[in-house]
Structure 1
Amino acid sequence: MFETFIFICLCSWSLAGVFGVDEVKSVSVMEGDSVTLNTDDTDIQRNDQILWRFGHNNILIAQINRKNNKSKCHYNNAAGRFRDRLQLDHQTGSLSITNTTTTDSGLYKVTSSRTETPLSTFNLTVYAHLPVPVVSRDCASSSSSSQQNCSLVCSVVNVGHVTLSWYKGNSLLSSISVSDLSISLSLPLEVEYQDKNSYSCVLNNPISNQTQHLDITQLCHTCEDNIHCCSFTEAVIRLVLSALLGVATVAVLVYDIRSTRSELIRTEETKHYHQTLVKSDQHYELSRRMSSIYVQI
């Protein structure tokens, strides 16, 4: 029995060495920050040549040659995304990435010149900076809800790998999560007009968060004559529509004035033309009579 256990352990160790079974180390960082992928592995540090590879295609992005104590970064590889942003530590073999972007997220593997088996693997996730959530009155829902309740919505745009949540004090009311990139999220909430509790909308990812506190008295005041005093956006839209209507009215008035003026000018020109014709006829008749008198004489 003991011999069987030893045999299984030896086989497992052998397979781990052959297939490169290695723990993937997860690293997270905010966009724009620097990050260092520390090998902390004496086996890596003893190798003559250390190779850093990126992505599932194992693209070579940097290498260290201990024989001549030189290092090289392959900036043209990986579509040039790491240009002038990589730094190597000759002593430890660690790789540093400065001014990180979300496109730097992915797998990073350390191999040596002796074997292509990864000696260490990192899964780097670079998170974008989070916007502050926007809380506004949900006019469409408010129009159909009871007179005692106020419908709200918390919204964010162009986010990814985040969770949007409503809190009542420290208690979670509702939440929605997304793993896609560049997507818009909205989360509704209905409260009473006279509610005195503290509410907040929170947008967060694993390493940061943004919070917007709800001011019920500002957004959820009742409106006279069933007019919904909703969000700032609706007020702006109404103002723009009013301005456009005013511009259209002025344009119609100007066109009407110009048309009337043109009609008057055409009337005056026609009148003048007729007067000229009459005078011409009178002159012709006078000339004819004078000629007739002259002939008689």
Structure 2
Amino acid sequence: MGSVEKKQSVFGEKVSVMEGDSVTLNTNVSELREEDDILWHFGTDNSPLAEISREKQIFSIYDDVPDGRFRGRLKLDHQTGSLTITNITYEHAGIYKLEIIGVKWSSKTFSVSVYARLPVPNITSVCSSSSSGSSHCSLLCLVDNVSHATLSWYKGNSLLSSISVSDLSISLSLPLEVGYQDKNTYSCLINNPISNQTTHLDITQLCHTCSGKAVLILTFIY
């Protein structure tokens, strides 16, 4: 399941939503008055998205502007004026502006960020022996095609290492080397501001075949 996170700031309301989910931008009005007009705009050029004028009986959605990216995705609550964007994609990230024009004029800004659904991390292991004869288990945690995310190794609840990616959609990998007799519990986690995925493993299960020969083992995902 997806999630939506909303935070207030001096620049308006920051909204984080998962790609493919729906998000509602609320007017925080329980019911519009007869003299109230509602205007919704998107982007730096203030492209009109929706309009309500109860006095004139206007309840309009302009989902073909600015370039058709909102077509079939907008819902307007006629009672409150709140705007819902369904099946949201990266194209719908940006600034939304609400104007309420009535006895008093008020406005509100929403900054919407859209994040991809995260894959479950995949972990592989290779066993090797050092010149001293001791065996080690080299782990590699890997995720494909992620952006705005952080990949981390944990031992129990303690963070061991992490690597992050911002705008680019790339593959991330993070190595970890442990002794094959290590009995601690390890996990690899991928997270962004609104969601996370974790693969847990037990070194005694993953590296129990380490005896100096190189082997490749896929972990079980719990």
2:137 to 124, 144, 150: 150
Deviates more, 1:193-202 or 1:123-132: 123-132
* Alignment partner of 1:123 is 2:111: yes
Task: Confirm or deny that 1:108 pairs with 2:114.
Answer: no
Give 2:175's aligned amino acid: P
Per-residue deviation, residues 43-97 of structure 1 (Å, max 9, x unmatched)? x967643221112232222222233222222222132121111111233221111
2:179 paired residue among 156, 169, 192: 192
Q: Distance in 2 between matches of 1:193 and 1:24?
A: 52
What is the distance in 2 between the residues matched to 1:208 and 1:35?
16
Aligned-partner residue type, residue 214 of structure 2:
H
Q: CA deviation at 1:102?
A: 3.0
Contact 2:52 2:60 in 1 (8 A): yes
Separation in structure 2 between the aligned mates of residue 138 and residue 67 of structure 1, nearest angstrom: 71
TM-score between the two structures when normalised by the length of structure 1: 0.61
Find the counterpart in structure 2 of residue 58 from structure 1: 46
Q: Which has the higher strand share?
A: 2
* Equivalent-residue separation in structure 2 for 1:104 and 1:151 (angstroms): 42
Match of 2:215 in 1: 229
Find the partner of 2:86 among 98, 102, 112: 98
Residue of structure 2 in register with 1:79 after alignment: 67
Change in 2 beyond 3 A, CA 1:50/1:190: same
Give the C-alpha shift of residue 181 in structure 1: 3.9
Q: Give the 5 Å matches for 1:1-297.
A: 23-40=11-28, 48-111=36-99, 119-137=107-125, 142=128, 147-220=134-207, 221-223=209-211, 227-231=213-217
Give the greater-gyration-radius structure (CA). Answer: 1
Number of corresponding residues: 204
Give the secondary-structure state (helix, strand or coil) at the position aligned to 2:88: coil
Structure 1 residues 78, 184: CA separation in 2 closer, same or farther (over 3 Å shift)?
A: farther
Q: CA-atom RMSD, angstroms?
A: 2.8
Q: Which moved more, 1:182-191 or 1:99-108?
A: 99-108
Secondary structure of the structure 2 residue equivalent to 1:52: strand
Structure 2 distance, partners of 1:148, 1:45, is 75
Deviation at 1:204, TM superposition (A): 1.2
TM-score (norm 2): 0.79
* Alpha-carbon contact 1:223-1:229 (below 8 Å) kept: no
The Cα of 1:194 is off from its aligned counterpart by 0.2
Q: How far did residue 107 of structure 1 move?
A: 1.1
**Which structure carries more helix by proportion?**
1
SS in 2 for 1:103: helix
Q: For the residues of structure 2 that align with 1:45 and 1:128, how far apart are their CA atoms? A: 38
Structure 1 residues 204 and 121, CA, compared in 2 at 3 Å: closer, same or farther?
same
Please list every run of 5 or more consecutive structure 1 residues that lacks an aligned counterpart in the other structure. 1-21, 233-297
- Quote the Cα distance in structure 2 between the aligned partners of 1:228 and 1:138: 6
**1: CA distance between counterparts of 2:85 and 2:153?**
36
Higher RCO structure (Cα 8 Å, ≥6 apart): 2
Offset from partner CA, 1:247-294 (integer Å, 9 cap, x none): xxxxxxxxxxxxxxxxxxxxxxxxxxxxxxxxxxxxxxxxxxxxxxxx
State the identity as a percent: 59
